[in-house]
Amino acid sequence: MLFNAAASGLAQEPGRSIKPASEIRPDKNPKMETKKIGLAIHGGAGTIERSEITPEKEREYRAGLERALTAGYEILKRGGSSLDATEAAVRVLEDDPHFNAGRGSVFTSAGTNEMDASIMDGKTLKAGAVGSVQHIKNPVNLARLVMEKSPHVMLDCAGAEAFAKANGIELVDQKYFFTQQRWDALQKMKAAEKNRTSGAGKSFLITDQDRHGTVGAVALDKDGNLAAATSTGGTTNKMPGRIGDTPVIGAGTYANNQTCAVSCTGDGEYFIRAVVAHELSALMQYRGLKLQEAAQDALDTVKQLGGTGGLIAIDKNGEIALPFNTNGMYRGYVDPKGKFVVEIYR
């Protein structure tokens, strides 16, 4: 599903080419000044069938997406930064046990929760990321702290948690992240794995919601600055220490004021191989593609490799794209008039 920004006056100027970043000085270009704001979010892509979700459960998912949109949009509407807006929206989704990030994260094969997150500033190209953290309530907050308070882009495992503690972030017990649904999903995966190796005939229904999921947000603020943030618990039954595309800048997350901000969801290994988030930006910057075409082309590379998923993106003109190659993607955006749109199915 793509948001038609052309009808709302947000489309790129006809015939305008995208110059390489080295030829553009955004701080001295009056055309970069804007009062437009925009926000898009996602809560994961996969095989999402109406028949598999009760009306009550669907209302809960929609309500969670709406809360995240509200949190981010209120910041933008008050003149706040795109960084603050994306961080706030993702934090709401991390706190919602329906989504695979923060509380409600999936379990590793060892029965632990290991979470990844990242955030990127399109104005400066600064970024922060954390991988395989086990005791951080809101990994996206720590990712931003890495960006702003350390000389590094990514910290993982014990080092990331030591950095969090040194900077006043409270560590929580693993039981905080536990949800029965995610634990049951791990047991189903283990049983299915055991049956495959033993040759037993019993089958188990393993849904994409059982296997994986990610949350993310992209935003444009009134100063024309773009930002992206992404957070995930990874994939159910993953090996301890596995890190997917979410904290890999350029794979699952990217933002550049000259082009767009991107947050991805899906089969992380394929998004890493295709460097999807940066690929989208590069298609705009060097080939002059508009956002929607670039977004679809970048996602198509994942499908060609054998992976599935989706992404959300917003460009410097406020145009939004939300392509996915699965049956559904939890997603939403706020249009130029402030209308909230939340969708799940194709």
pLDDT tens across 194-234, in order?
877 665 544 444 555 556 689 999 999 999 999 999 999 99
Matching residue, tokens 């209302």? 59
Q: Where are the alpha helices (DSSP H) in the chain?
A: 55-77, 82-95, 139-149, 157-166, 180-198, 208-211, 268-274, 276-287, 291-305
pLDDT value at 125 more than 90: yes
Determine the 3-state secondary structure of 40 from DSSP: strand
232, 131 Cβ separation under 8 angstroms: no
- Tokens 């933008």 label which residue? 76
Q: In what order do the strands lie in the sheet with 253-255?
A: 253-255, 260-266, 309-315, 320-321
| CA torsion angle 219 220 226 230 (round to 10) | 0
- Is residue 20's pLDDT more than 70? no
Question: What pLDDT does 30 receive?
Answer: 44
Closest CA to 332 of 213, 216, 209: 216
pLDDT at 229: 98
Encoded amino acid at 117, one letter: A
What pLDDT, on a 0 to 100 scale, did the predictor assign at position 199? 58
Decide: 313 and 38 in contact? Cβ < 8 Å: no
Tokens 């907050």 map to which residue? 141
DSSP assigned state of 112: -
Distance, CA of 8 to CA of 95 (rounded, Å): 33
Residue 51 pLDDT exceeds 90 = no
Q: What is the mean pLDDT of residues 102-109?
A: 96
- Give the separation between CA 223 and CA 226, rounded to whole angstroms: 9
Quote the CA–CA distance of 184 and 191 in Å, as a whole number. Answer: 11
What is the pLDDT, as a whole number, of residue 242? 97
Which range (20-29, 138-147, 291-300, 318-327) has the least confidence?
20-29
Q: Give CA–CA dist 174/273, Å, rounded.
A: 31
Tokens of 98: 């329906």
What one-letter code names the amino acid at 130? V
Query: Residue 333 and residue 310: Cα distance in Å, rounded?
Result: 15
Query: Identity (one letter) of the amino acid at 81?
Result: S
Is 265 among the catalytic positions?
A: no
- Please pick, among 86, 214, 308, 326, the residue that the annotation labels catalytic: 214
pLDDT of residue 249: 98
Q: According to the model, what pLDDT value does residue 198 have?
A: 61
pLDDT at 10 (0 to 100): 37
Q: Which residue has the higher pLDDT, 194 or 320?
A: 320
Pull the structure tokens for residue 335: 């249009």
Give the integer Cα–Cα distance in Å for 323 and 313: 9
Question: Which residue's entry shows tokens 């055991």?
Answer: 194
Region of poorest pLDDT, from 50-59, 230-239, 271-280: 50-59
pLDDT above 90 for 319: yes
| pLDDT over 70 (residue 187) | yes
pLDDT value, residue 195: 79
**For the residues 299-322, what does the mean pLDDT come to?**
97
DSSP, res 169: P
Query: Distances in Å between the alpha carbon of 337 and those of 243, 318, 333?
Result: 38, 12, 11
Residue 91 has pLDDT above 80, yes or no: yes
- Would you mind telling me the total number of residues written for the chain in this entry? 346
Residues of the chain with pLDDT > 70, as a percent, come to 86
**pLDDT mean over 268-297:** 98
pLDDT of residue 130: 98
pLDDT in tens, 290-306: 999 999 999 999 999 99
Dihedral class, residue 41 (left if φ above 0, else alpha if ψ from -120 to 50, else beta):
beta
Which residue has tokens 């002059």? 288
